[in-house]
Structure 1
Amino acid sequence: MLASPGGLAGVGLGRRRAYWHSAVCLGVLLCAVYVGRRHWPAVRTGAERLAVADQGWLLVGALAAMGTWAASALAQQGAVTRRLPGPRLVAAQFAASAANHLLPAGVGAGAVNLRFLMRCGLPACRSAGALAVKAGAGAVVRLALIVLLALACPGLLRVPHVSPAALAAGLGAVALLAALVAGPLWPRCHRAVTSVLADIRAVHACPTRAAALWGGSLAFAALHSVVVIAVAQAVELPLPPLQTALLYLAASSAAALLPTPGGLGSLDAALAFALTASGAPAATAASAVLGYRLLTVWLPLVPGLVVLAVLVRRKAL
């Protein structure tokens, strides 16, 4: 049977997107390697400092990192009205965090959670809507935390000066791109937005689900901030905890604009730059970044992939 022209076009578009994402990821990773090589003495000193860091604070960071999976599971449960199996939901979040470090722009975590929700009996459109609701709540919570911490730490974040002409040109380019892209896809986008809005109303009609959604989203962002604060205290980073949390939230939000796997390279560079620009020594900032990555990425990566394989084998995904 011959493939339809529409199917071939879709396959070609998917391949072009995959090539584009791969090229962007490769470019960001190469830049990260270049920056790391150029500042290798600070990175090496940071690794040595991390090796003799306060073990108690590192244990606090490890416990907070483990709590992020439970917080993510709570937020995911809050994004759907149907009750999900608790232990498998937490295991799916653990597996999703590992998959997220292998594929760009959250594709790995999204694919794992989408498959898990569909295995729990939710239709594909509802599963995708639940992921959108969870992501939207997480973005709102993160923005609110940045605003509150920025008010508590005035002058720490500096908004770059942009001329009105450059701002107008940028907004015009975004509007033009949106018009060109959304024109042919508007009916599909309208249906997707309508479905997501219906899911949001259904979730907030149940107070316990809404509390789980917003509470889990808040706990997820707060626990990641606690990991950074704990590592910073372990390596004696000379910044107050609230400032450290604000810099992490701002750096991770900026790094999310680059589609690298788990923010690899982009988050490391953004967080290290934010810490050093705020007065922290380069070696200590490198220690904090390395410690955060160790607790949230490298140590859980292999166990997370094992859990992912077990869930796939048991047809939970």
Structure 2
Amino acid sequence: MSSLSPSPSLASPPPSLASPPPSLASPSPSLATPSPSLAAPSRVLPGDPLRTAPSADPASRPASLLGARRLRLALCLLPVLLAAGWAVANRPVVYEGVRRLVAADPGWLLAGAGLTGLNCVAAACVRQGALPDRVRPGLLLASQFAAGAANHALPGGFGVHAVTLRFLRTQGVPPARATASIGLYSLAKSAAKTGVLLVFLAATPAWRRLGGLVPDGRLPVPAVAAGGAVAAAGVLLTVVRPLRRPVTGLLRSALADAREVHTRPCRVLALWGGAVAMPLVQGATLACVGASLGLGLPWQHVVLAYLAAGTAVGAVPAPGGFAVDAALVWTLAAFGCAPAAATATVIGYRVLTDWVPLLPGTLLLSALIRAKVL
């Protein structure tokens, strides 16, 4: 029996075959864990999207945030300070206009206030009609109301255009298209106002009284200034070649946008309908103020006086339209109105359309700046 039992040498394998050598049983420590040089980069690469370099100076971030908040607060308070300074500088005019408006007929003044708000709606329609892109109508209307306050700080309507351009840029409109829309807005507004003036001149025989306001043998100052500006622009574009390429590119973009706008009936209606409505609404507002103060002129004569005065000296770069106001007083007097009544009407019109909306307009402008809409 003992001869049939396996020998110890065959019962168990030799130690060399039973277990692998230590070198093969467990990986080397150099292979089990990666090298520190491979596990994490020793420095942050400039283009690494997974890692961001820590701030060099953590204390500088609160200081920069504080500086940005102060700058935003200064921009919000700047329109309010400008409005307050303008009111203080024009205390007699403000007092006289308010005194006469207090004694005026409130019904006609309320109608004039409603027409003033309708003018902002018409301006917003023209802005949207001049732009192929669609912007939010509520914010567009708010920007146009706030732009009226900025118009007192810059002459020639530049404040309205600056606010509108900033608004369009925040709404994602490209710079070339936004600038082209402002040019189309100005062109449509001027062309529509001239057309409405020609219609009133043809329908109202009282235009003959305006002949005494035109200088004999001399061109009006705005016509000379406009001709000189056009000539200077032509000389600059001809002589200075670096200006030619961006200007021609802008004109090309403006023409393309104008063609695209006029292929859409809704844009055409908004552009030209609003442009025609704006001078009519403004002239009707002046007629309402004149009726409240007992001006004694038919509304056709008042609207014609407004159109004639605005067209004659509208190109004069004066903040707040003071040149237009002076010409309007003379035009109303030429139609047979007493100078005192004409002055009171113009002051009341300016108080109702500019000075009364000035405070809410500046507050709205500050709110839009704080909300980063402008």
Give the TM interval when normalised to the shorter protein.
0.7 to 0.9
Write the distance in 2 (CA, Å) between the matches of 1:46 and 1:174. 36
Matched, 1:222 2:277: no
Which amino acid letter does the alignment assign opposite residue 210 of structure 2?
L
Using a 3 Å threshold, how does the CA distance of structure 1 residues 173 and 86 change in structure 2: closer, same or farther?
closer
Using a 3 Å threshold, how does the CA distance of structure 1 residues 198 and 262 change in structure 2: closer, same or farther?
farther
Q: Secondary structure at the match of 1:239?
A: coil
Question: In the alignment, which residue of structure 1 is the partner of 2:335?
Answer: 278
1:187 pairs, out of 230, 245, 255, with 245
- Does the CA contact (< 8 Å) of 1:156 and 1:278 recur in 2? yes
Question: In the alignment, which residue of structure 2 is the partner of 1:127?
Answer: 178
Instruction: Tell me the CA shift for residue 191 of structure 1.
Output: 2.2
1:82 pairs, out of 133, 148, 168, with 133
CA deviation string 1:15-67 (max 9, x = no partner): xxxxxxxxxxxxxx9xxx9xxx9xx9xx9987754432111111110100011
Question: In the alignment, which residue of structure 1 is the partner of 2:210?
Answer: 157
Write the distance in 1 (CA, Å) between the matches of 2:282 and 2:184. 20
CA deviation string 1:77-116 (max 9, x = no partner): 1111221101111000001111111211111111110011
2:369 pairs, out of 308, 312, 315, with 312
Matched, 1:266 2:336: no
Which amino acid letter does the alignment assign opposite residue 281 of structure 1?
A
Write the distance in 2 (CA, Å) between the matches of 1:170 and 1:100. 21
CA deviation string 1:176-195 (max 9, x = no partner): 53443332234333222222
Matched, 1:209 2:267: yes
2:293 pairs, out of 228, 232, 235, with 235
Question: In the alignment, which residue of structure 1 is the partner of 2:162?
Answer: 111
Which amino acid letter does the alignment assign opposite residue 256 of structure 2?
A
Which is further off, 227-236 or 45-54?
A: 45-54
1:300 pairs, out of 339, 357, 366, with 357
Using a 3 Å threshold, how does the CA distance of structure 1 residues 204 and 171 change in structure 2: closer, same or farther?
closer
- Does the CA contact (< 8 Å) of 2:146 and 2:364 recur in 1? yes
Question: In the alignment, which residue of structure 2 is the partner of 1:291?
Answer: 348
- Does the CA contact (< 8 Å) of 2:97 and 2:351 recur in 1? no
Using a 3 Å threshold, how does the CA distance of structure 1 residues 241 and 81 change in structure 2: closer, same or farther?
same
Which amino acid letter does the alignment assign opposite residue 180 of structure 1?
V
1:54 pairs, out of 105, 123, 126, with 105
- Does the CA contact (< 8 Å) of 1:61 and 1:231 recur in 2? yes
Question: In the alignment, which residue of structure 2 is the partner of 1:69?
Answer: 120
- Does the CA contact (< 8 Å) of 2:126 and 2:275 recur in 1? yes
TM-score between both structures, scaled by the size of structure 2: 0.68
Question: In the alignment, which residue of structure 1 is the partner of 2:73?
Answer: none
Question: In the alignment, which residue of structure 2 is the partner of 1:253?
Answer: 311
Write the distance in 2 (CA, Å) between the matches of 1:232 and 1:259. 26
RMSD over aligned Cα, in angstroms? 2.8
Tell me which structure has the larger Cα radius of gyration: 2
CA deviation string 1:228-252 (max 9, x = no partner): 0100111111221111101111212
Q: Secondary structure at the match of 1:259?
A: coil
Using a 3 Å threshold, how does the CA distance of structure 1 residues 219 and 172 change in structure 2: closer, same or farther?
closer
Q: Secondary structure at the match of 1:262?
A: helix
Using a 3 Å threshold, how does the CA distance of structure 1 residues 305 and 187 change in structure 2: closer, same or farther?
same
User: What percent of counterpart residues are identical?
Assistant: 38
Instruction: Tell me the CA shift for residue 255 of structure 1.
Output: 3.0
Question: In the alignment, which residue of structure 2 is the partner of 1:13?
Answer: none
- Does the CA contact (< 8 Å) of 1:47 and 1:286 recur in 2? no
TM-score between both structures, scaled by the size of structure 1: 0.79
Q: How many residues align?
A: 277
Q: Secondary structure at the match of 2:312?
A: helix
Write the distance in 2 (CA, Å) between the matches of 1:150 and 1:230. 21
Instruction: Tell me the CA shift for residue 253 of structure 1.
Output: 2.4
Write the distance in 2 (CA, Å) between the matches of 1:79 and 1:215. 12
- Does the CA contact (< 8 Å) of 1:225 and 1:248 recur in 2? yes
Write the distance in 2 (CA, Å) between the matches of 1:82 and 1:173. 35
After TM superposition, what 4+ stretches of structure 1 lie above 6 angstroms from structure 2? 43-47, 169-175
Write the distance in 2 (CA, Å) between the matches of 1:201 and 1:247. 34
Q: Secondary structure at the match of 2:319?
A: coil
Which amino acid letter does the alignment assign opposite residue 337 of structure 2?
A
Write the distance in 2 (CA, Å) between the matches of 1:192 and 1:70. 28
Structure 2 unaligned residues grouped into runs of 5+: 1-85
Structure 1 unaligned residues grouped into runs of 5+: 1-28
Instruction: Tell me the CA shift for residue 161 of structure 1.
Output: 3.7
Instruction: Tell me the CA shift for residue 289 of structure 1.
Output: 0.4
- Structure number having the greater helix percentage: 1
